[in-house]
Every structure is written in C-alpha cells, then in structure tokens.
A = this chain, B = another copy of it.
Amino acid sequence: MRSSKKKYIVSGSAGVKAQQIQFADQKQEFNKRPTKIGRRSLSRSISQSSTDSYSSAASYTDSSDDETSPRDKQQKNSKGSSDFCVKNIKQAEFGRREIEIAEQEMPALMALRKRAQGEKPLAGAKIVGCTHITAQTAVLMETLGALGAQCRWAACNIYSTLNEVAAALAESGFPVFAWKGESEDDFWWCIDRCVNVEGWQPNMILDDGGDLTHWIYKKYPNMFKKIKGIVEESVTGVHRLYQLSKAGKLCVPAMNVNDSVTKQKFDNLYCCRESILDGLKRTTDMMFGGKQVVVCGYGEVGKGCCAALKAMGSIVYVTEIDPICALQACMDGFRLVKLNEVIRQVDIVITCTGNKNVVTREHLDRMKNSCIVCNMGHSNTEIDVASLRTPELTWERVRSQVDHVIWPDGKRIVLLAEGRLLNLSCSTVPTFVLSITATTQALALIELYNAPEGRYKQDVYLLPKKMDEYVASLHLPTFDAHLTELTDEQAKYLGLNKNGPFKPNYYRY
C-alpha cells in the first residue's frame, strides 16, 4: 500500500470522524517530515490524507499492464480536447457505467440538478476541486456542471483515483488531472495543472485535506483576490483553516462542512454501526454472537460500534474518559471498565477515541490468544503498533489487511489494517453516506458563491442550519419518508418559520 520510496509519514484518516481532536503532536510530525524528494522543491510534503486509500469491493480493471506515466502520454477525448491527464481515456465507457450506477443511489444530487437547474445558481462559477476521484465525486462534479459551473479537478489522494471514472469525466469534457498511483511529484503537478491555466482563474475552491488550498497559498496567493470562498471537507483541512484563521491569514470565507449534523451523525454513528460488522467479517469471518468485546471510547463512533455488536449478540464493555459519555454507556447497557480490567478476557478490542496509545504494548502483552485488535477511531495512533515491531515478535500476514503478531510463547494477536482505520481499509463506505457529503458540498458552494457581500467574512463557518436541514430533506425520498408541515397556528405557537430552521444551534439531536 505504501510506496517504499516515500519517507514522509502516512498516518492519517481523512474526512471521516474524530470530533474533538486537537493535533497537538501531529504538528510536530509535520515539522519532522523530510522534503525535497525527487524533482520537486516544495517546502512541505503532501498532507496525510493524500495517501490514505479507500478500499472498494469493486475490483476495477488493473492498469498494471501499462507502465507509461500518464504525464508522458498524448491523449485526446472524442471531442478533440486534450486538457486533462488520466491513465487511459479509452476506459471512459466503463467509468461512465459506474457513474450511472452511482447516480441511481444519489437521488439528492439528481434532485438538486433538477430543482436548481433552471436558475443555474453556479453560472459563472469557476471551481477548482481536489478530492477523491470516484464515481460519487463524478456525480457531484457533473451536478456542479449542470448548475452552471466550470470545474477543474485533481485528486486529493495518490491511491484513491478510479482511473475509469477519471477517463469518463475527461471524455465528457472535464479537465481532470488524476490517476491511481501518482508519485508525490505527480500529485502536486496535477494540482498545479488545475490552477495554473492560461485564461482561466478559479473563483471557488472545493478541497478535501487542504492541499489544494495550501498550494494556492504557496504559489499563487494573488489568486485569492478573485476567490469567493473555500469549501473544506476533512478534519485535517478544517484544522488547517482554523489555524490560518487564528493566525489572521485566512483571506477568504471558508465553509467547514465536516461538522454539519448530517455528516457527523451519518459518517460516524450510522455508518460505523454497519462498517464495524462489515470490516470484522471481511477480514476475519468471525462470529459475533457471544464474543466479548471492549470498545474504547463512547463518542458517536463508539456508540455505533457498541449498538451493532450488542445487537449481534456480543457482550460489550466500554472504556471512557468523559463521565457524561460514560454515563450514557451505562444507561445504554454497557459495563464501563478500565481497559486493564477486561484485557485478559476479551475476544476483540476496538478503539474509537481519537486519542493516541489507547492500546499499549502492555495491553497487547496481556491479551489472550487470538484476540482481534482494530481501530475505528482516527488516524493510526490509537494502537501502539510501533511497539509491536520488536525482534521477539513475529509478524505473519495471513490475509490482506490481517496480520498475526506472534509472541514467543505462541500467542497470536490478530491485528487488522496495521492499526489504521478499519472502516476505510477493510469495508466500503455506502454511496448513501457519500451522497450526503457531496450534497452538503454542493450546497456550501452555492451558498458561498451567491452570498451577498458581507454575509461571510474571512473566517471559518459552519453550514447554516437551514441548509443542513435541506440536505436532510433531499435524502428523505430515498426512504419514501413523508415530512409533516407545520400549520400556521403551530408555527406561531412554536415561534418558528414554517420552513425552518427548526432547532436552536445548540440542539444536540
């Protein structure tokens, strides 16, 4: 998964979960990064998130047969354009089918196309984007196009691009610069090709991880004069924006779509409720019934994991540092323990804390034979995997993403995804969740682009609650769900507008 040539640290998750995290020592890691690799001369490397990888159950065509770098190829789409750089433009048809399938599961974006198409709310928008390039992103991009925007796009991750989808986008006229297996130099080259264009200057940024934003800051700071706003998706990117803001260096409004309610509840609680089961099954084929499990952390992710495993007949223990979450765990029927109290007896250890070294070598030493250890939280810091890379322990790769770490006495620990995020590495993210995120991004772009002068200052904003509610409402038809409307009398009684927002900002849902 990791190129051995790369020296920089690949630690991150990206875009998914981890609420309260403060990246105290991650900043130090940033500083430690070696740079100046190969023919590039940037002062910093690509961000953590750019090297994570979504696994996909769909195995796409293998491009290993073609070793030529896309940068060295001459390709044209059927309309004669060559303003793109993808692995193989001929894969466009296969990618188109993937996009069509994704469209069927992203009705909210399709509805947005329909509802907003007449007015073209993004007419005149020139959006430069840097995200994972998947079928779902393609649906987003084509939606932005349908709403009037011009788009140029790069990948936010060197591994996650689906070449066929990139080809399909290029074929239908989108200037896309991305392929699976970019080098770090390729990565920045692609981003540069998106922004450094003769006669075209972006006025909106859609970023996932902050690398695109960073690049423009570094290389084309003047470009911000015309930019109306940044929409940022990931924890990492949002963190960077808040740092810029604190430092007084943020020069355009930015929208933090990571902390919107729908994203948080769906990416974390509901999605993890399913992906913990999926990830464990795909890697270990274990039976959940009767298993003793300890879940470290009872935030949204922990709540999802606990609910799922309890429902499948596991006996679940919880550890927490926060007494309020701890009391919730109690009321939800979980024994609240310290990890040490149960570490000898549990069959599975799952971390969901956003913290570091939650599972230490000492814990690992005390686990029983065959204990499964995995991380659903944030980054790859929760389990002290480094402590396992010592001479007396033997590592055995038994399946993709599954290692047996073997103690001298023969005890085996089953480590999943080397302590990286189980749900990203070993399960898939349902299109429905990606649909919510993509719709939120589209609405954030529309909001920032159309906001009257002065509504947003040079700061980081959350999506207005009303738009959060709108995103939710666009997804209700998926469930054939029928919303009730307030009568005038009721709206007056509650002191609410009939169209929302329906809750105060501090409402907890």
User: A469 contacts the other chain (Cβ, under 8 Å)?
Assistant: yes
User: A433 contacts the other chain (Cβ, under 8 Å)?
Assistant: yes
Q: Which of A460-509 contact B (CB under 8 A)?
A: 468-470, 472-473, 475-476, 478-487, 489-490, 492-496, 500, 502-509
Decide yes or no: A324 and B468 within 8 Å by CB, A58-B399, A287-B274 being known contacts: yes
| A509/B508 in contact, CB under 8 A | yes
Q: Which of A388-433 contact B (CB under 8 A)?
A: 398-399, 412, 427-428, 430-433
A248–B470 Cα gap in the complex (Å)? Answer: 36
Chain B hits for A286, CB < 8 A: 430
A residues with CB within 8 A of B: 19-22, 24-25, 57-58, 101, 104-105, 259, 261-262, 264-266, 270-271, 273-274, 277-278, 281-283, 285-292, 300, 308, 310-315, 319-339, 341, 345, 354-358, 369-370, 381, 398-399, 412, 427-428, 430-433, 468-470, 472-473, 475-476, 478-487, 489-490, 492-496, 500, 502-509
| A476/B308 in contact, CB under 8 A | no
Partner of A336 from B271, B322, B476, B485 at Cβ < 8 Å: B476
| B323/A483 in contact, CB under 8 A | yes
Chain B hits for A281, CB < 8 A: 274, 277-278, 281-282, 427-428
Shortest C-beta distance, A262 to chain B (Å), equals 6
Shortest C-beta distance, A398 to chain B (Å), equals 7
Chain B hits for A430, CB < 8 A: 285-287
Residue ID in chain B nearest A370 by CB atoms: B104
| A21/B494 in contact, CB under 8 A | yes
A392–B259 Cα gap in the complex (Å)? Answer: 48
| B261/A336 in contact, CB under 8 A | no
A331–B480 Cα gap in the complex (Å)? Answer: 12
Decide yes or no: A483 and B57 within 8 Å by CB, A330-B476, A476-B336 being known contacts: no
| B25/A492 in contact, CB under 8 A | yes
Shortest C-beta distance, A312 to chain B (Å), equals 6
Shortest C-beta distance, A315 to chain B (Å), equals 6
Residue ID in chain B nearest A275 by CB atoms: B281
Chain B hits for A496, CB < 8 A: 20, 22
Residue ID in chain B nearest A404 by CB atoms: B101
Partner of A326 from B21, B398, B483, B486 at Cβ < 8 Å: B483
Residue ID in chain B nearest A19 by CB atoms: B507
A283–B281 Cα gap in the complex (Å)? Answer: 13
Chain B hits for A500, CB < 8 A: 322-323
Partner of A333 from B315, B358, B431 at Cβ < 8 Å: B315
| B22/A494 in contact, CB under 8 A | yes
Q: What number of copies of this chain does the assembly contain? A: 4
Partner of A472 from B283, B327, B334, B478 at Cβ < 8 Å: B327
Partner of A289 from B20, B21, B274 at Cβ < 8 Å: B274
Chain B hits for A339, CB < 8 A: 484
Chain B hits for A508, CB < 8 A: 261, 264, 300, 508-509
| A262/B327 in contact, CB under 8 A | yes
Shortest C-beta distance, A295 to chain B (Å), equals 12
Known pairs A322-B503, A356-B490, A358-B490; list 16 more (Cβ under 8 Å). A19-B504, A22-B494, A261-B508, A273-B289, A273-B312, A273-B313, A278-B278, A292-B479, A313-B333, A315-B333, A321-B485, A327-B476, A341-B482, A355-B494, A356-B489, A356-B493
Chain B hits for A311, CB < 8 A: 308, 311-312
Chain B hits for A505, CB < 8 A: 506
Shortest C-beta distance, A470 to chain B (Å), equals 8
| A428/B285 in contact, CB under 8 A | yes
Chain B hits for A322, CB < 8 A: 469, 500, 502-503
Decide yes or no: A484 and B273 within 8 Å by CB, A104-B370, A355-B494, A493-B24 being known contacts: no
Decide yes or no: A490 and B355 within 8 Å by CB, A19-B507, A290-B331, A496-B22 being known contacts: yes
Partner of A321 from B25, B291, B338, B502 at Cβ < 8 Å: B502
Partner of A337 from B271, B338, B482 at Cβ < 8 Å: B482
Partner of A476 from B323, B356, B490 at Cβ < 8 Å: B323
| A285/B431 in contact, CB under 8 A | yes
Decide yes or no: A57 and B282 within 8 Å by CB, A289-B273, A490-B355 being known contacts: yes
